[in-house]
Structure 1
Amino acid sequence: MARISLFYILTIIIIASGSIPKGYDEGGFAAVADMPSFLHDFGLLGKQWDGDKHGLIATKANITSFGVLGAAFGAILALAITDKLGRLRTWQTFMAIWMAGFFITTFSSGILGLLLFSRLFSGIGAGGLTVVAPMYLTEIARTKSRGMVVSMYMVMLLSFLMFGFFISYGARKSLAPSREQYRAVLCVPLIPGGIALFFSSFIKDTPRWLASKGRNDEALTVLSRLRGAPPDDPAVKKEYAEIIEQVRDAKQRLSDTTTWQIVKEVATISSYRKRFLLGLAMQTIAQWTGGNGITYYIPTIFRYAGVRSDNISLINSGAYGALKLFFTMIFTWGLIDVFGRRVCFMSGLFLQCITHVYMAVYMGIWIDSHNKAASDAAVASVFIYAVGWSIGLCTIQYLYGTEILPTRIRSVCYATNMTVHWFFQFAVVRATPAMFESLNIWGAYVFWACICFIGLVFLGLWAPETKGVPLERMEELFSGPWYMGWRAKLGPQRDAEDDSLERSPSEDLGSSSEAVQVNMQTKYP
């Protein structure tokens, strides 16, 4: 049985805390943005807009979505600094940026311009963390438990999403409707964020990044601590040798490269291109299935489904977050590394699709009918949707985006994917209120259902099963046509020395699929 070191566990917890900004934004801030005390302080009550309904909707959407827009720029910034500063220093930088920005948000005191600025600024930190945290976790995880380790990012995120709704409910019940009420809610995530930032000074960067910078002795020491075994342990030596071999191979083929050169290689090397585009497709489909649009406006959606009380709507929103957390934990600690990635995301997309179809029917036919049975079914469908999202693309979009990419291009490609993720999330969050108004709510659900169906078809054909596949052999799954990815499997493992003798630099850098296949043993049964 593999040994689990305390250092390994603490490192995972600290780095996974990088999801707190995103999680609390979707839960705590989303709930605060609907609080009467917050709306009154920032002049967002309907009576304060003299009947300008469209202007009020646009302003509220800006407040919610500007944090997401800032996150898109944070992901771009992460692209520029992750490889230079290292995974750990980048994580610390973005956590500090988010804390500073969120502190300003908390104490904006009714100044709308300052609030919008702070939302953008804190979003930069949150966006950068979505790039570096999953990347860090991927690079320190054992092969057999990589899915579980990376998914801890989502477990932490959903925990704080859930806490945000329940804390908001508690503040509504126990505090007077004043600035102190919504400030109490917004202050909460700064505490665990600060604790994680402090303790991050006691952990180390990833062995893979250290080795890529020629700090081999340090890489071995860190790997040994992560695995809870001495450096001369056979398992540690084997994993270290694989890391060094991969880094050496990457340096020989891609030494002295710039970001622009990596972009050209991704565009011309078939295996790189397929992997990058698959990660991009995962992020795109995940956002446009309605995932974060629904989460940011979940209290409103429960009211559309027939929940009349604001407090009960918040309780349901907290239960929605709790259900997502519960099924994400089941997914993390069992489903993902037992049933595999494909079964999970296909099942999740199917559940999302059928619940969107029902909600479209409900919103189109029964929304004003006061039909209790239909209303109860609509509320239930929101919870079923949460199950589908949690066992599917909610987590797998991050996992695929890191594990299918080789170390050399991982930072550039994953940061690019996360930039697209954030821009699309901004578009979804910004557009959802307008979609509800212009498409009479039901039209938005028809749109989301169609995206789920498209995802079932394209990702069902394209995405290979990566369960248990070492990062160093991931390339073998992408040697065939993209639409045959669903059948890709590893072939017999070849001896590294024999493999290196058969491979020439021109073959490694060839743009055709035939050149890439020289070093692959993929089977399509």
Structure 2
Amino acid sequence: MVGLAKVEDRPTPPQVYNARVYLASIVAACAAIMIGYDSAFIGTSISLDSFKDEFGLDTKTTSEFNLISENIVSVYQAGAFFGSLIGYPIGTLWGRKWGLLISALVFTLGSGIMLASKSSTGLGPIYAGRVLAGLGIGAASNLTPLYISEIAPPAIRGQLIGMYEIAWQIGGLVGFWINYGITQHIGPSTKQWIIPFAVQLIPGGLFAIGIPLFIKESPRWLISRNRRDEAIKNLSYLRKLDAQEPYIIEEINAIDIQVEHDATAVGTGFWAPFRQVFGRWHLARRLIIVTTLFLHQNGTGINAINYYSPTIFKSLGVTGGNTSLLTTGIFGVMKTIFALLWSFFLIDRWGRRPLLILGSLGGSVSMAYLAAYIAIGKPQERPVGSPSDAGGRAALGFFYIWTAFYSVSWNGTPWVINAESFPGSVRTVTQTLAATSNWFWNFIIARFTPTMFSQMGYGVYIFFCLMQVLAIVYVVFLLPETKNVPLEEMDRLWVEKNAWTANKKVMAELQRERQTRDGPPALIHQEKPNGGAEEAMVENAGRKEVV
């Protein structure tokens, strides 16, 4: 964005950072609005008395209701798991743009099917609709970061992929507050629980409409399909530069070289990227490292909180339906604000590794306090409606501190790293497996969180604390910094043995190579005010510049 520092891998015309590339990225990222909305509304909606009464769940025991709620929530993640796999053939054969459009239409259809549920039909339409909606959103979660990484200039790649996370938080924010507003203004009825389900049609429909209007097919995909003229046209549009501009020529040539190298080294055909990834240890190792980030992301506790916030706040002593929903709404506001801070000011300035380490440090301390408070203060034993003690207020404060640390670190950074860590020859496969990893761990948390709380108590918070401590060790020793490294140079970054110094070493090598190719800096003689002369060094086009 204008006014933010951009560290470039090569001199870049200011026109490159234009509204077109931002708009295309924002529209693609809107897929995440549906994900965020679902995570915010579903757990609260199915806990409404009106929902329980509609489907006869108010007669179930606690364990029976927990099982049903786990199933309702988790079938969406199961559908998304398989949808992320389906995204590979769609994105490879038909392109990123068509893949996103198909995903949007499938999600919208699934959302519509859910609305057919009522007491006479039972929960069947909800189950079927959530599986179908999950298929669509799983494919989109695969294709959106992939598409954005392929159209983004390197200096703002993290920021643009971060739009995906911002959209996720906006969806969650809307979901939290719609539930709060409905419980405040609509009495127990079918309308009370069905409106949150119906709202899903709005972002799904807008997403489907926006794709043909604002998204241009990925130039990298077009070149890989021998559609070079169209690729040049789309890249010129996205960069807002004429096709004859040196910047466009250089970028197209770099893509040409990479595509040709991929065809030679990897081969052509549907299964060639799979053979490349799993047949080369250096790629398989990289895949294991970056996809495991989603295990650590879920290990922070985020999806347990997203899907089962009433359970979480009840464990902290926050009781009363409206009070719990208000507390959850504030949680959504904080996540959105800090996600904006992360995207526009931190991810491309501070880098990926420092944010993950900082987030884990703050998050582990916060979870440790929550565990200690529940173990010692026993808030669950206080009468419903009784005021919180000082420890309880501090616990709620630490919960929001955890929210801040999580939101500027693990919230979106794993998606950025996965989207940018692999060469184009295998990126469709690796992005597929990244999305699959995300939904697998998402499913595990969604499926078993109520059971964990009923059986482990405060031990759940100790578990989340230890997972974040483990994440620090993981990042420190295994994950190199990917900030500013061009996509075509990621192989060079990941072969470095020392994760601490890999980024600095590769960026210095790229700068030296460009200076060697373009020649030494020129000397310009400028007159001093007193009539003398001084030599001023002017950096040539090959040196990394800060704008």
Are the aligned partners of 1:348 and 1:392 in contact in 2 as well (CA < 8 Å)? Answer: yes
Shift of 1:252: 2.0
Q: Distance in 2 between matches of 1:234 and 1:480?
A: 31
Matches within 5 A, 1:367-386: 367-368=378-379, 370=382, 372-386=389-403
Given candidates 231, 234, 254, the residue that maps to 1:219 is: 231
More helix by percentage? 1
1:520 matched residue in structure 2 = none
Q: 1:301 aligns with which of 308, 312, 328?
A: 312
- The question of whether the paired residues in 1 share the 8 Å contact of 2:292 and 2:437 is answered with no
Answering whether residue 416 of structure 2 is matched by residue 399 of structure 1, we say: yes
Query: Could you tell me the TM-score, scaled by structure 2's length?
Result: 0.86
Counterpart for residue 71 of structure 1: 80
How far does residue 283 in structure 1 lie from its aligned partner after superposition?
A: 1.5
Three-state SS of the structure 2 residue aligned to 1:486 is coil
- Aligned counterparts of 1:355 and 1:495: Cα–Cα separation in 2: 46
Q: In terms of mean alpha carbon deviation, does 380-389 or 398-407 score higher?
A: 380-389
1:199 to partner: Cα distance? 2.4
Contact kept in structure 2, 1:37 and 1:178, CA below 8 Å: yes
Deviation digits for residues 357-404 of structure 1, max 9, x if unmatched?
111112212133656111111111221111122111210111111100
Q: After superposition, what is the alpha-carbon deviation per residue over 1:45-73, rounded to whole angstroms, capped at 9, x for unaligned?
A: 2xx12xx3222211111111111111111
Native 8 Å contact 2:22 2:160 kept in 1: no
Give the structure 2 partner of residue 172 of structure 1. 183
Q: 2:137 aligns with which of 123, 126, 131?
A: 126
Cα distance, 1:30 vs structure 2: 2.7
Instruction: Look up the match of 1:502.
Output: none
Which residue of 171, 196, 219 maps to 1:207? 219
Q: Which residue of 2 aligns with 1:143?
A: 154
Task: Indicate if the aligned counterparts of 2:116 and 2:125 stay in contact, CA closer than 8 A.
Answer: no
Aligned ranges 1:345-424 → 2 under 5 Å? 345-368=356-379, 370=382, 372-424=389-441
SS at match of 2:32: helix
Matched AA of 1:450: L
Is it true that 1:16 corresponds to 2:29 in the alignment? yes
Question: For the residues of structure 2 that align with 1:309 and 1:12, how far apart are their CA atoms?
Answer: 40
| Cα distance in structure 1, aligned partners of 2:253 and 2:499 | 29
**8 Å CA contact 1:97, 1:121 repeated in 2:** yes
Q: Contact 2:46/2:52 (CA < 8 Å) preserved in 1?
A: yes
Once the two structures are superposed, the pairs formed by residues 143-292 of structure 1 within 5 Å of their partners are 143-202=154-213, 203-259=215-271, 261-292=272-303
Cα separation, 2, equivalents of 1:76 and 1:192 = 23
Corresponding residue for residue 479 of structure 1: 495
Find the residue that maps to 2:412 and give its secondary structure: helix
Identity %: 29
Which of 446, 453, 459 matches 2:462? 446
Structure 1 residue matching 2:443: 3-state secondary structure: helix
Is residue 2:460 matched to residue 1:460?
no
The amino acid that maps onto 1:478 is W
Structure 2 counterpart SS, 1:337: coil
Partner amino acid, structure 1, of 2:22: I
Match of 1:511 in 2: none
Range 192-201 or range 312-321, more displaced: 192-201
Q: Please give the alpha-carbon distance, in whole angstroms, between the structure 2 residues aligned to 1:171 and 1:16.
A: 27
Instruction: Say if 2:310 and 2:325, in contact at 8 Å, map to a contact too.
Output: yes
Query: How does 1:49-64 map onto structure 2 within 5 Å?
Result: 49=60, 52-64=61-73
**Residue in structure 2 matched with residue 103 of structure 1 by the alignment:** 112
Question: 1:106 & 1:145 partners in 2: Cα distance?
Answer: 40
Amino acid corresponding to residue 500 of structure 2 in structure 1: W
Q: Deviations over 1:238-290 (max 9, x none)?
A: 2222112211211122222442x433322332431232112121112212332
Cα distance in 1 for residues equivalent to 2:173 and 2:137 = 18
Q: Write the distance in 1 (CA, Å) between the matches of 2:147 and 2:46.
A: 32
Q: Which residue of 2 aligns with 1:427?
A: 444
Q: CA deviation at 1:176?
A: 2.4
**CA offset at residue 218 of structure 1?**
0.5
TM-score normalised by the chain length of structure 1 = 0.90
Q: Is the 8 A contact 2:294 2:414 kept in 1?
A: yes
Structure with greater Cα Rg: 2
Conserved 8 A contact 1:75-1:124: yes
The question of whether the paired residues in 2 share the 8 Å contact of 1:327 and 1:387 is answered with yes
- The answer on whether the counterparts of 2:107 and 2:204 sit within 8 Å (CA) in structure 1 is no
Q: 1:413 Cα deviation (Å)? A: 1.5
1:20 touches 1:189 (CA, 8 Å); kept in 2? no
CA offset at residue 301 of structure 1?
Answer: 1.2
Measured after TM superposition, the shift of residue 112 of structure 1 is 1.3
Question: Does structure 2 retain, via aligned residues, the 8 Å contact 1:107–1:183?
Answer: no
Partner of 1:43: 56
Moved over 4 A (4+): none
The separation in 2 between residues aligned to 1:173 and 1:240, in whole angstroms, is: 56
1:298-355 deviation per Cα after TM superposition (whole angstroms, max 9, x unaligned): 2321222122221121111111111111111101001111111111111111111111
Q: What code does the residue aligned with 2:377 have?
A: W
8 Å CA contact 2:266–2:276 kept in 1: the answer is no
Q: Does 1:93 align with 2:102?
A: yes
Give yes or no for contact 2:111–2:200 (8 Å, CA) kept in 1.
Answer: no
- Residues of 2 paired with 1:172 and 1:53: CA distance? 22
Structure 1 residues 299 and 158: CA distance shift in structure 2, 3 A: same
**Which deviates further from its counterpart, 249-258 or 381-390?**
249-258
The DSSP-based 3-state class of the residue aligned with 2:57 is coil
CA distance in structure 2 between the aligned counterparts of 1:53 and 1:171, rounded to whole angstroms: 25
- Aligned residues of 1:76 and 1:415 also touching (Cα < 8 A): yes
**8 Å contact kept, 1:5–1:225:** no
Q: Which runs of 5+ in 2 are unaligned?
A: 1-12, 383-387, 518-547
Letter in 1 for 2:174: F
Report how many aligned residue pairs link the two structures. 490
CA distance in 2, matches of 1:213, 1:258: 12
Q: Is the 8 A contact 2:115 2:125 kept in 1?
A: no
Deviates more, 1:9-18 or 1:103-112: 103-112
Residue 125 of structure 2 aligns to a residue whose secondary structure is helix
How far off is 1:495 after superposition?
A: 6.2
Report how far residue 213 of structure 1 moved: 0.5
